Chains A and B, each alone.
Chain A
Amino acid sequence: MSIKQNLTNPEPWAGLAMGNEAVARAMIEVSTRVITTYPGSPVPEIATTLNLIAPEHRDFYFESSTNEKVALEVATGGSLNGHLSTVFFKSVGLNVASDSLIQLSMLELIGGLVVILGDDPGANSSQNEQDNRIWARMSYIPMLEPGSPTEAYQMYKEAAALAKRQRGPVFLRLTTHVCHAREVVQFAAMSGEEPDWTPRFDANNGPYWPIAAAVFPLKRKALQKLQAYEALAEESPLNRVLAPHGVAPVDSKRLGVISAGIPAYSVLENIDQAGATVDLLKLGITYPLPSQKILAFLEAHDEVVILEELERVLEGEIKALAYDNSVKCRILARPDWDQVMGEFDPVRSYKLLAGFWPKAFEPRDFPEPSAEVVPRPPQLCPGCGHRSAFHAVKKAIESDTITVADIGCHSLGSLPPYNMGEVLLCMGHSVSTGAGLAVKNDTRKVVSFLGDSTMFHAALPGIINAIIYNHNVTLVLLDNGTTAMTGHQARHGSGEIGDKIPIIGLLETLGVQKILDVDSYNQRKLIAYVQEANAHEGFAVVIARHPCMLKFTRASRKKSPGLKLPKIAVNPEQAADALPAMEQFGCPTFQRTEDDQVGVSEDLCIGCGSCIMSAAPGTLKIQRPLAPAPASAPSPDGAKSPGAKSPGGVK
């Protein structure tokens, strides 16, 4: 049984499901009414799953908002009206949303609100591995932490029930490999509640106005709710002791481990494999901690290891608890400073446990990689307009120009062979960081890159700032009409969500003095435009646009399976002239042959022709398939792409 066919199955069923899919089913099962998000790994598949239900068949409201703060606020409003509401986004999304989040525990959210975080220990797809458990402490919001798809499903339901009962926010903290793990999950029946959209907002449920002295009664209420949560955590079966091999002393010592999430499962695997009589207190509710349960566990053992990922959150709180209660148990934790980095898989947890307790976990040799293998960093796809843009900008700028990267597929411009984008903070930073680099700087030009989706997400205040102070920055806006990096979610103002917001019109209205707009495939014009913008004193924008060709090609192939695309061919008489296309333009289509010539991968080439201008005239040519010639790809704004005579084959 698959989630695709059974997402709305009213009966209980079981089937293979990914963590994200299981959470989506849980939302629907308990009749979550207002759901919002902003895309980001590791959680975008929650949205993909919800989108399996056509909008007209949903008894919930779902939107992908312009950024995480907006998403959180919309969900908060839903909850204020009495609807069970949920917002989900990636770890760093909480930084964007935090200004609103920090108020929430002080407010009576009568419908309940679940805030789902996609944390990313190991920085698998993020710019850091920030530990959002700390946010729970700062905002007085309780936190649940699953370690498997089944738990993610169960804990969403528990979080929703708690949020409704306590009329407040609850965190569900997923991590990357919980989101993307798969196992058979047993789902329950649908609640089948009829939607009731009555707006029940009532200021008398408040006050909802935390300002100055009015903060304290509200803060008191938040802290009282936290007390109630601690009592619930003491009772909850989500905090439980697992003793797969029974309780017996090892080397005359009673041993235990306290852990949560996936690290707890790494430990369980270690205990199981070693046959060790070590107990595990697995915490599901990790804020507030169940003090009595933890004290009882400490008192029942002579030594306890606290094994957590990232910051020393459990360690600090449990050690304080033990100190205050004069507990005799010896508490052990990660000894080295660098152990606050990265994930704890079963190898790493085994090494840690064997270091403390060699009798229970016999020291083992774990295999190390036997050789170096050539790395394979991610790269821009064949036909990507960003590649054309980076290639042209590199030619257009002086060697001492400072280039500022932003977040999106275009972050890959920072890698060889382009090396465009030398500093990166977060989504939408590039214009303002560039502005600072340009301050009192008369010698080195600054070029900032930015994606179209990111512009709407977080860059507009920075752009307005650059206009007002006329910061001497050239913004190269890489407009592919979509949010490509996270899976081609519709970009706000692209026409897929609401009406089109014309980017040029928007920038003109804001007051940008110089706006130049070109299809990225048109290398000559793009180079000239970047030079023109750089010659302009002050803030200038070059829009380098081309539709995302991965999205376009996939759509074309879906429409006509078996579609034959044109291919690039190297003119054998000019073989040596093709090297720049492979080494500098760097389309993956070009593969080095054994005699160091340029070969073309038939598998990868989409026949877009974007490479032609990267080699001497006559070197590269498009070879059309025998099938009828395909039409041009549309530009994001609907115009024809001058450089893209044959990108697809879809009319």
Chain B
Amino acid sequence: MSIFNVYLTGVGGQGIGLLSGALGTAIVDVGHKVLGCETHGLAQRGGVVVSHLRVGEGAYAPRVPPGQADLVVSLERLEGLRGAVNMLRPGGRIIFYDAEYQPIAVRMGEAVYPKVSDIEAEVASKGGTVERVFDEDLSDPRMQNVALLARVAALGAIDKITPARLEKAIAASVPAKLLETNLEVYRRNLGL
């Protein structure tokens, strides 16, 4: 079986751990082999955080090589663009949550924050597909990850990872107190 490379990205503090945790668990549950890798340390202070999931036999090294991601999942727009530029393979797919966290150069007026159309143009140049996710009614930004997971499942972006499967994995990862609100957001964003 060939390798299916998933590259997850976002900004430190956005909760990428839940993305990789829930997806990793679901992927194992459906019987696929998975090898992953996370970022810890310095970058978690508002820098770029990434997580790799390599699905299938034949992946021995834990990180997705540049330009070889079949699927890029991003919690933020600029990081979505970075993922598209550096990691997406030709013909790959990107799903991003349209949150905006400006890096210091933008805040200091030395650089410009990208537009959604910048991601679309980049992905189009690679012959890939792009989906923007945004939930108007989100009560807490720390549930953007759950909204994003819902779209990953609803689009069938990873083999056998159905909405029901992923919901089970989320339930196993989210603290009990917060589960109900999280599942509400998840189900709403399935859009089924």
Contact = CB atoms under 8 A, between A and B. Distances in A.
A266 B34 contact: no
B61 A266 contact: yes
13 contacts: A177-B63, A180-B37, A262-B62, A345-B61, A345-B63, A346-B60, A366-B66, A378-B44, A381-B13, A381-B46, A582-B107, A590-B107, A596-B109
B66 A371 contact: no
A415 B105 CA distance: 11
A42 B41 contact: yes
A41 B82 CA distance: 25
A182 interface: yes
B113 A345 contact: no
A180 B38 contact: yes
B116 to A, nearest CB: 14
A604 interface: yes
Given A416-B104, A590-B107, A378 B67 contact: no
A635 interface: no
Contact of A125 (B42, B61, B78, B104): B42
Interface string A261-292: 01001101100110000000000000000000
Nearest to B20: A182
**How extensive is the interface on chain B, given as a class?**
35 or more
A592 B41 contact: no
B162 interface: no
Nearest to B45: A378
B93 interface: no
Closest 9 CB pairs of A and B: A367-B67, A125-B41, A378-B47, A41-B41, A181-B62, A603-B141, A265-B60, A376-B103, A378-B45
Contacts of A378: 12, 42-47
A269 B61 contact: yes
A376 B35 contact: no
Contacts of A412: 45
Contacts of A588: 46, 101-102, 107
Interface in B82-114: 82, 85-86, 89-90, 99-109, 111-114
Contacts of B71: none
A379 B46 contact: yes
B109 A381 contact: no
A182 B35 contact: yes
Contacts of A366: 65-67
Contacts of B172: 2
A264 to B, nearest CB: 9
Interface of B: 11-13, 20, 24-25, 28, 33-48, 58-63, 65-68, 78-79, 81-82, 85-86, 89-90, 99-109, 111-114, 122, 125-126, 140-141, 172, 177-178
B24 A371 contact: no
A586 interface: yes
B61 A262 contact: yes
B27 to A, nearest CB: 9
A591 interface: yes
A457 to B, nearest CB: 17
Contacts of B105: 374-375, 416
A39 to B, nearest CB: 11
B67 A376 contact: no
B11 A561 contact: no
A539 to B, nearest CB: 30
Interface of A: 2, 16, 18, 41-42, 44-45, 124-125, 148, 177, 179-184, 262, 265-266, 268-269, 272-273, 345-347, 366-371, 373-381, 409, 412, 415-417, 485-486, 561-562, 582-583, 586, 588, 590-592, 596, 601-604
B85 A370 contact: yes
A16 B17 CA distance: 14
A266 B37 CA distance: 14
Given A182-B34, A369-B86, 16 more contacts: A16-B24, A16-B28, A41-B41, A45-B40, A125-B43, A180-B40, A181-B37, A269-B58, A366-B65, A374-B111, A378-B47, A381-B45, A583-B107, A588-B107, A591-B100, A603-B101
A416 B107 CA distance: 11
B8 to A, nearest CB: 12
B74 to A, nearest CB: 12
Contacts of A45: 40
B104 to A, nearest CB: 6
Contacts of A18: 38
Contact of A346 (B34, B43, B61, B101): B61
A375 B103 contact: yes
A376 B79 contact: yes
B59 A591 contact: no
Contacts of B113: 374, 592
A273 B61 contact: no
Contacts of B11: 376
B42 A41 contact: yes
Contact of B58 (A44, A273, A379, A486): A273
B65 A347 contact: yes
A268 B62 CA distance: 12
A376 B107 CA distance: 11
Contacts of B112: 374
A553 to B, nearest CB: 10
Given A265-B61, A269-B60, A379 B28 contact: no
A590 B63 CA distance: 34
Nearest to A265: B60
A272 B67 contact: no
Residue from B37, B68, B102 having most chain A Cβ neighbours under 10 A: B37
Contacts of B104: 377, 379, 415-417, 586
A376 B82 CA distance: 10
Contacts of A486: 41
Nearest to B24: A16
Contacts of A347: 65-66
Given A583-B107, A601-B101, A380 B67 contact: no
A582 B46 CA distance: 16
B81 A368 contact: no
Given A184-B28, A373-B78, A376-B48, A177 B109 contact: no
Contact of A268 (B60, B100, B101): B60
Given A368-B67, A586-B107, A592-B102, A379 B47 contact: yes
